[in-house]
Structure 1
Amino acid sequence: MTPDQIIAAIGLLMAEPDPAFETLRAGGFDARYPVTVEACPETTSPLDVEGQTIICGTVSVPENYNEPDGRRIPLEFALGRAHSSNPFDDAIVYLHGGPAGGALSAIGASTEIILGDHRPHRDVVTFDQRASMLSSTTVRCNATMAENIVDLVRTVESAPTPEGVEPFDLGAFFKPCIDELYASGADLPAYNTENNARDVRALMSALGYPEYNIFGISYGTRLALEVLRTAPEGVRSVIIDGVAPPNVHLYDDLFGPHADSIETLFDQCAAQPACAEAYPDLRQTFIDLGTVLTETPVPAARGMPAINADVFYNTINQRTKLSEHWVRDLTRYLPRIIHELAEGDPTTFDWYMSTYAENADAPQSAADLLGPAGATLSGDERALALSVLESAQSMSDQGEGVAAVMTQLKHDLVAGTVAVSVAETFDQRASEALRELSHDEIPAAVQGYARMQAGEPTRAAIGYWVLAHFHGPDQTELMSLVNAMSPDDIARTFDIANVELDKYQGTIENLMGLRIYACQEDFPFNSRDNGARLLSEFPYDVIAGEEGRAALENIYTICDLFEPAPRDGFQEPVVSDVPVLVAGGTNDTQTSWKWSHLAAETLSNSQVVIYPNSGHGASLYSECGRDINAKFILDPGAELDLSCVESLTPQFVLPDATLP
């Protein structure tokens, strides 16, 4: 955190509440879509103060826009005010991936990282889309989850299955869950990308933005494209990054982006004469490697884990993830690693894993951060670089301390000191009592807790749970607390239960929300027969291993349980003249970088940027990408300077290079 940021943050903390927030508290800017302000989840940036620089709540939208007076969906949102005292009127909204991945579980990541370069000049908005995480209340299979809560806890926590108990089959969970959803009264076919696009327009209108910008990643790109087709009113500009156009067979071609990524590596090596000479026919070597690692894995006897095809490819596939910083430098070594492993030599692979992977979460010294680049510097240059890095680390440490203080300060300003309520006391006492139960009693008590949470929030429900599962002094003390609860305490007890079960509920919501979209609107456009055909033609066994094939079959098996609800024209390319920045990354194995060009074919006012050595959400991997995004939103009609992109191309390590 820089001194300027610290000063700005303190200024924000002491600022008067934004007048526009009062309009939101009064119901918002569009009576068709009422706003209800609620407390923000505890995932906001330390620099934000609820009610002053950020506000959260729900926007009520129709489940089916053809029936505006019918069932409603509360969409959970967060709105962060621009840091400028004179911002642009048009906000920027982040459309998360998935489908149903959610964004409010990490509000600070949206407002300060994904949209951080835009917030100095614009308000930023993020929300959980329909059927996604906090906005999934209308499509939850609460009864099925309550029945399976013990197994879900074991699965999420990676706990061992007790002896004599059948392992939990998460796939088998889906059928009763889907049956429950169809019986719940929810209009499942209304949970689709077209209505999701209408939600975006409704949300921004309710929050007071007649004109706005969009930044979508992954499924968020498909949604952004649908906004341009279905509800384009007010859209000023769009960034789509990690593009999933509606006209690609996203599920049948599950392995296609992997092939495009690895083939780009082959092309990049071939374009560098020294690499091409050192590793001729790298593509065939990679194909042969699949056979080598499948039939004769590198054994673990050398003091490192065994290397089979899945271990090897799962490692290099981490390059697609923004959060996996330890693989950022792996691309430079891949031609050498592929060449060595094909001959049964794990030297460079082992070196990289022991140097980077084993210390991925460990604090790094300035010398570690300087890495191999230090060998190319003179003594004075190296000393200067180390000094700068040490200073940067010191500033980072101080920034973390300031952030912690800021977090406490904002809580003090907004909430004051809050005494422990009867609800909190009950929660603490119930946790103690649970530990006194036998191993046989705990699963039933946890299951009962989940059933209680899924029902009506009443004193009787809490009391029934206590009487059913606790005995003696524990039961007596807990019932005394239940009887002492005020209506607010009862509500708070259920809020606590929701928070405690959120991690397990969230696992199901994420999996189920994705399939509500995919299985209804992408099938039968995708099909098991077409997937099998594409898989039979796929050349890389090391990529399409057992795990990947099982994942593909799982998609078809679960989608067989849904009633398809395809929509005419949904798989047609989106045509628009709105300014669009289309980005992709050569390491992206979730959405092929080639799909960026495909989407741009019918976007007449688009610019395409492909970032080398960058994964899913490629523009966020480098300062180059973030700067290009910021410049585009500032002036969507201007031609972009892309000169920094070429510098991201990896320079490959040759066989005779000394490993640092």
Structure 2
Amino acid sequence: QDDPQALVDVVAEMTVEAGGTGNCPAYFAEQGINLSQYNTNNTVLDAIALMDHLAYPVYNLFGISYGTTVSLAIMTYYQTHPDAALPPLRSALIDGVAPLEVVTGVDGALTSARNIVRVFANCEADPACGAAYPAIRQGLAELLASLEAEPLTDAAGNEITLDEVIQVLEAATTTQVALAAYLPRMVDELARGETATFQAIAAMRAGEVSAAPAAEPLQSTNPLDVLTLRAAELAAQLQSLATDVNELGETSKELAEAIDEAETVVDLYVGLVDRYLANADPDVRNLYGRQLDALSIIPQLASREAVQYHATLIAEPAGSELRALVGLLTDDEIDAVWAALTDEGDLARLQFVDEVTQVVVRCNTQRPTLNLTEDIESLRSFEAPQLVSAKGLISVASMQVGCELYDVGPLEATAPSTITLDIVPTLVMNGGTDHATPVEWGEVAFETLDNARMITVPLTDHGVTRFSKCAKDIAHAFFLNPEMELVTSCVNGFAPVYILPDDALPGSAAQ
């Protein structure tokens, strides 16, 4: 945040020069490809043409992520062309909402920060949590400002830094959402110089003790929670680990198969990562690849701490398995794991052509607001600017570099549309910990819809209908009858049950 132009310059060097994307504009020009035509308006026209061609009697719109941008734009087109002969629409469901015509590009850098603050806002809205930790949202901002000035030192002389606290906050709203319930108590204690909950969370993150069960998407058991207590034996005897895991049941199948294929603990770690990526959606693989690529250019990061951080990039239950394995690795094995993870060939296969498409489409829509150097003040004025993540800043810087590289998109911002859409019944679905499109974006879109309902599923990532039976059932019911009242009580089961001051903490930290 201190020197946004320096960050833009580094990203340009990484992607345009070292990454090779500087060769792309000339290649596209040679192929006769007009990048300015890759925009949402043309996608809308293509979609309508396709619907016409298929000639179904009626259509439902269902969009996730950029698909929501297109769905909203289709409805806008219908409303602004009332006399056109258009294919009939019946309903629309938008999930993980990206109203790119309304929100600014730089606003995307606040996604992680907003997800964290929302945990504390929800605590204040919860009767028990709000009573136990009054004004905890403001308390979070004050704690972060205090830690930025100087680290906290507890009664035993242990130092807790701003970075360590932010790592916990980010983990609890990304890959380890079961920890979210502990955050208000942790912040309340740290503000008073107490560290019991912070230490308990550290033990849970290391796999030494188990957190309370999380919501439906994360109910898978982590077999290594118990097995890591025998770390020395397991490191020497992988087959024993395989036997133990097999005894734990069907939920251990992926881990058991990875162990069976591995000849060393290094093989096991890398194998688990490969299995996770093979089963992940392309956008998840792409995000993982970008994050790891950014880490790989700094040689000093080849350390145990780097591998531990790497494990936080992986969602549950694989993330817990990997974090447990880090404790089994020798220093030489750590080096081998890092070398395997950052191998240029492996990193290259994680990058997708759709990343270029995304940059071009975003630039054609949002270029005037994808400027980190000009809009940095909007980030500095956030209620807890310490939470604006490096990943968020790098993402915006990458878009800014891409817009300049491909030279597409308008140079001047236009006023967003003020049209209120009343085309079809619409359901807006948000994930409470969506890493790409925060709840606030769904709320922005909801305000432009006249015949709409909105549901937010707590502690759930991008595209809630991908993650739980609850969200799928709600979506199915809506499409069956878009006008009927929806039963959404299952969503309540995803909300964290906040840990109160007198609640016991897991493990030895509870003593």
TM over 0.5: yes
1:474-532: per-residue Cα shift (whole Å, max 9, x none)? Answer: xxxxxxxxxxxxxxxxxxxxxxxxxx989726515243222111122212255446622
For the 8 Å contact 1:319–1:614, the answer to whether it is kept is: no
The correspondence for 1:281, drawn from 135, 152, 167, is 135
The correspondence for 2:362, drawn from 518, 524, 539, is 518
The correspondence for 2:94, drawn from 240, 254, 257, is 240
Report the equivalent of 1:335.
184
| CA–CA distance in structure 2, aligned partners of residues 503 and 352 of structure 1 | 31
Q: How does 1:572-651 map to 2 (within 5 A)?
A: 572=417, 575-651=421-497
The unaligned stretches of length 5 or more in structure 1 are: 1-166, 369-389, 402-499
The correspondence for 1:317, drawn from 164, 170, 187, is 170
For the 8 Å contact 2:457–2:494, the answer to whether it is kept is: yes
Displacement after TM superposition at 1:581 (Å): 0.9
Report the equivalent of 2:106.
252
Report the equivalent of 1:149.
none
Instruction: Say if 1:400 and 1:655 are closer, same or farther in 2 by CA, change over 3 A.
Output: closer
| CA–CA distance in structure 1, aligned partners of residues 432 and 14 of structure 2 | 35
For the 8 Å contact 2:63–2:70, the answer to whether it is kept is: yes
Displacement after TM superposition at 1:333 (Å): 0.7
For the 8 Å contact 2:111–2:437, the answer to whether it is kept is: yes
Instruction: Say if 1:554 and 1:367 are closer, same or farther in 2 by CA, change over 3 A.
Output: closer
1:330-351: per-residue Cα shift (whole Å, max 9, x none)? Answer: 2211101222344555442343
Q: Secondary structure at the match of 1:169?
A: helix
The one-letter code matched in structure 2 to 1:522 is: Q
Report the equivalent of 2:273.
none
For the 8 Å contact 2:370–2:396, the answer to whether it is kept is: no
Q: How does 1:14-413 map to 2 (within 5 A)?
A: 169-172=14-17, 173=19, 174-202=21-49, 209=56, 211-230=58-77, 233-297=87-151, 308-318=161-171, 321=174, 324=175, 327-343=176-192, 345-356=194-205, 358=207, 364=222, 394=249
Q: Secondary structure at the match of 1:224?
A: helix
| CA–CA distance in structure 1, aligned partners of residues 199 and 454 of structure 2 | 37
Displacement after TM superposition at 1:247 (Å): 3.5
The one-letter code matched in structure 1 to 2:424 is: V
The one-letter code matched in structure 2 to 1:282 is: I
The one-letter code matched in structure 2 to 1:246 is: L
Instruction: Say if 1:649 and 1:555 are closer, same or farther in 2 by CA, change over 3 A.
Output: same
Larger radius of gyration: 1
The one-letter code matched in structure 1 to 2:186 is: I
Instruction: Say if 1:554 and 1:337 are closer, same or farther in 2 by CA, change over 3 A.
Output: same
| CA–CA distance in structure 2, aligned partners of residues 521 and 634 of structure 1 | 34
Instruction: Say if 1:233 and 1:345 are closer, same or farther in 2 by CA, change over 3 A.
Output: farther
Cα RMSD (Å): 4.3
1:324-370: per-residue Cα shift (whole Å, max 9, x none)? Answer: 3xx232221110122234455544234334335648999635998xx
For the 8 Å contact 1:298–1:346, the answer to whether it is kept is: no
Displacement after TM superposition at 1:559 (Å): 2.1
For the 8 Å contact 1:229–1:576, the answer to whether it is kept is: no
Q: Indicate the percent of aligned positions where both proteins have the same amino acid.
A: 30
For the 8 Å contact 2:63–2:93, the answer to whether it is kept is: yes
Q: TM-score, normalised by structure 1?
A: 0.48
For the 8 Å contact 2:116–2:173, the answer to whether it is kept is: no
1:560 corresponds to 2:374: no
Displacement after TM superposition at 1:260 (Å): 4.1
For the 8 Å contact 1:246–1:570, the answer to whether it is kept is: no
For the 8 Å contact 2:432–2:461, the answer to whether it is kept is: yes
| CA–CA distance in structure 1, aligned partners of residues 390 and 161 of structure 2 | 12
1:530-557: per-residue Cα shift (whole Å, max 9, x none)? Answer: 6223123222132125554444334323
Q: TM-score, normalised by structure 2?
A: 0.60
Instruction: Say if 1:643 and 1:512 are closer, same or farther in 2 by CA, change over 3 A.
Output: same
For the 8 Å contact 1:237–1:578, the answer to whether it is kept is: yes
The one-letter code matched in structure 1 to 2:353 is: E
Instruction: Say if 1:634 and 1:523 are closer, same or farther in 2 by CA, change over 3 A.
Output: same
1:386-437: per-residue Cα shift (whole Å, max 9, x none)? Answer: xxxx9x9746579999xxxxxxxxxxxxxxxxxxxxxxxxxxxxxxxxxxxx
Moved more, 252-261 or 180-189: 252-261
1:537 corresponds to 2:381: yes
The unaligned stretches of length 5 or more in structure 2 are: 1-11, 79-85, 211-217, 227-244, 257-343, 507-511
